[in-house]
C-alpha cells in the first residue's frame, strides 16, 4: 500500500532528523578516529575513545549522540521546477514535532518573552528554515542540522577595518578559538564568513557548518587560507575537550562575498565535534534519496 505523498514526505523527514540525531555522518566520525590516532596524551585519548564509543552506542541503540539535541535548522536547496515546494514548510514543521516525540529530542525552544517551552521544538520562526533557489533542477535537497547550544555561545561577528585585511581575519578567528577554549566541545568545526556586513558574514559562516569535514573551498586561494587556519588552530594545543593535544579543530571552512569599500566583516561560527547533520533529496516523482546516510535508502519504500 502506498500512502499519500504528503505522509511519505513527512515520514522521510522524521527519518532524516532521526538520522542526524543518532548517526554521526561518516566524514565526522572518520575525522574523530584520525584524531584518536594522532594524539598521544593518555587523558585526551581516553576522552576521544569515550566519544567514539558513544558514536557507536548511539548508532546501535538509536539514541541521540548528545543530550543537547540542539535547535532544528533546515537548509533547503530547492529547484525552480520542484513540484512540491508548497508542501515543504508544513512538512518540515510537523516532522520536527513528530521527531521530538519519537526519538525523543530534548525540547529546546524557549519563548524569549513568556519563558514558555512548547515542548516540541517549535516556536516563532522555529524550526529555522533557510531557502536557496536552484535554477534548472526539479528536485529539492533538504539538510537538517541539529545545532547545540554549547558551541553557539562562542560564535561571534565583527566589522574589521579594510586595512586589517586577511591577516586581521586570521587573527580574529584564532582569538575566537583561543577564547572559546574547551567550551564548544572541541575538536570543533570552525566556520568563517567574510563579506560586506555582519549579516552576510554570519550567514556564510553558519552555512559553512553543513559542509562535510575535509571538503575544501572550490577556490584554491580560499582552500589554502582554510588549511593555513586549520594548521594554526591545531597548534594552539587544546585538543579534545581541552585535555591537551594536536586536534583542536576537525576542519576549518571559509566562504566569502565581496566587501564594501568601507568594511571587512567577519563572522565565526563553530560546531561541536558532534556535528549532527543529515541530507536527503526529494525527486520530482516523489522518490527519496538520503545522501549523507545512504543506508537509509534501503529502508525507504
Partner 1 sequence: MAEYKLRTPLSEDVIRELNVGDVVYLTGVVVTMRDTGHKRAVELLSKGERLPVDMRGLALYHAGPVVRRVGDRWEVVVIGPTTSTRMEVYEYDIIEKTGVRMVIGKGGMGPRTAEACKRFGAVYTVYPGGAAALQAEQVRRVLDVHWLDLGVPDAMWVLEVENLGPLTVVIDSKGRNLYEEMYRMARRRIDEEIYPALGIR
Closer Cβ to partner 1, 150 or 212, answer by number:
150
Closer Cβ to partner 1, 31 or 272, answer by number:
272
| Least distance (Å) between residue 123 CB and partner 1 | 14
Question: Is 286 in contact with 8 (CB distance < 8 Å)?
Answer: yes
What DSSP string runs through 8-54? Answer: HHHHHHHHHHHHHHHS--HHHHHHHHHHHHH---HHHHHHHHHHHHH
Tell me the HSE value of 254 on the side-chain side, using a 13 A CA sphere: 20
Q: What are phi and psi of 105, to 5 degrees?
A: -100, 155
**How many distinct helices (H) and strands (E) make up the chain?**
7, 9
| Least distance (Å) between residue 152 CB and partner 1 | 10
| Least distance (Å) between residue 120 CB and partner 1 | 13
- Residue 105 corresponds to which cell in the numbers above? 529530542
| Least distance (Å) between residue 116 CB and partner 1 | 10
Closer Cβ to partner 1, 131 or 178, answer by number:
178
What DSSP string runs through 135-191? Answer: TT---EEEEEEEE-STTTTT-EEEEE-GGGHHHHHHHHHHHHHHHHTTTT-SSEEEE
Closest CA to 65 of 214, 245, 185, 207: 185
Closer Cβ to partner 1, 11 or 164, answer by number:
164
DSSP state of 57: H
Q: Which residues bind partner 1 (CB under 8 A)?
A: 42-43, 46-47, 50-51, 53-54, 57-58, 61, 63-69, 104-108, 117, 148-150, 153, 167, 170-171, 174, 178, 181-183, 185, 228, 232, 235-238, 240-244, 272-274
SS3 label, residue 232 = helix
Closer Cβ to partner 1, 209 or 240, answer by number:
240
Closer Cβ to partner 1, 83 or 123, answer by number:
123
| Least distance (Å) between residue 49 CB and partner 1 | 8
Q: Is 245 left (phi over 0), alpha (psi -120 to 50) or beta?
A: left
Closer Cβ to partner 1, 83 or 244, answer by number:
244
| Least distance (Å) between residue 141 CB and partner 1 | 27
| Least distance (Å) between residue 171 CB and partner 1 | 5
Amino acid at each position: 500500500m502506498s500512502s499519500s505523498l504528503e505522509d511519505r514526505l513527512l515520514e522521510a523527514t522524521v527519518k532524516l532528523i532521526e538520522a542526524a540525531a543518532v548517526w554521526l555522518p561518516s566524514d565526522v566520525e572518520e575525522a574523530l578516529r584520525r584524531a584518536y590516532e594522532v594524539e598521544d596524551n593518555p587523558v585526551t585519548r581516553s576522552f576521544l575513545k569515550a566519544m567514539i564509543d558513544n558514536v557507536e552506542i548511539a548508532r546501535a541503540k538509536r539514541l541521540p549522540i548528545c543530550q543537547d539535541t540542539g535547535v532544528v535548522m533546515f537548509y533547503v536547496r530547492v529547484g525552480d521546477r520542484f513540484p512540491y515546494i508548497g508542501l515543504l514548510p508544513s512538512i518540515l514543521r510537523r516532522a520536527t514535532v513528530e521527531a521530538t516525540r519519537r526519538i525523543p529530542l530534548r525540547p529546546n525552544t524557549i519563548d524569549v518573552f513568556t519563558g514558555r517551552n512548547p515542548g516540541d521544538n517549535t516556536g516563532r520562526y522555529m524550526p529555522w528554515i533557510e531557502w536557496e533557489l536552484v535554477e534548472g533542477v526539479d528536485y529539492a535537497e533538504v539538510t537538517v542540522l541539529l545545532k547545540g547550544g554549547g558551541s553557539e555561545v562562542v560564535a561571534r561577528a565583527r566589522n574589521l577595518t579594510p586595512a586589517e585585511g586577511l591577516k586581521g581575519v586570521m587573527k580574529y578567528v584564532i582569538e575566537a578559538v583561543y577564547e572559546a577554549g574547551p567550551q564548544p566541545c572541541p575538536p570543533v568545526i570552525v566556520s568563517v564568513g567574510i563579506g560586506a556586513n555582519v549579516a552576510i558574514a554570519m550567514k556564510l559562516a553558519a552555512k559553512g557548518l553543513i559542509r562535510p569535514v575535509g571538503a575544501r573551498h572550490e577556490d584554491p586561494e580560499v582552500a589554502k587560507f582554510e588549511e593555513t587556519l586549520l594548521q594554526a588552530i591545531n597548534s594552539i594545543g587544546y585538543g579534545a575537550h581541552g585535555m591537551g593535544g594536536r586536534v583542536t579543530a576537525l576542519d576549518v571552512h571559509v566562504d566569502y562575498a565581496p566587501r564594501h569599500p568601507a568594511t571587512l566583516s567577519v563572522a565565526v561560527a563553530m560546531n561541536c565535534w558532534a556535528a549532527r547533520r543529515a541530507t536527503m533529496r526529494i525527486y520530482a516523482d516523489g522518490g527519496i534519496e538520503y545522501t549523507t546516510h545512504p543506508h537509509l535508502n534501503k529502508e525507504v519504500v
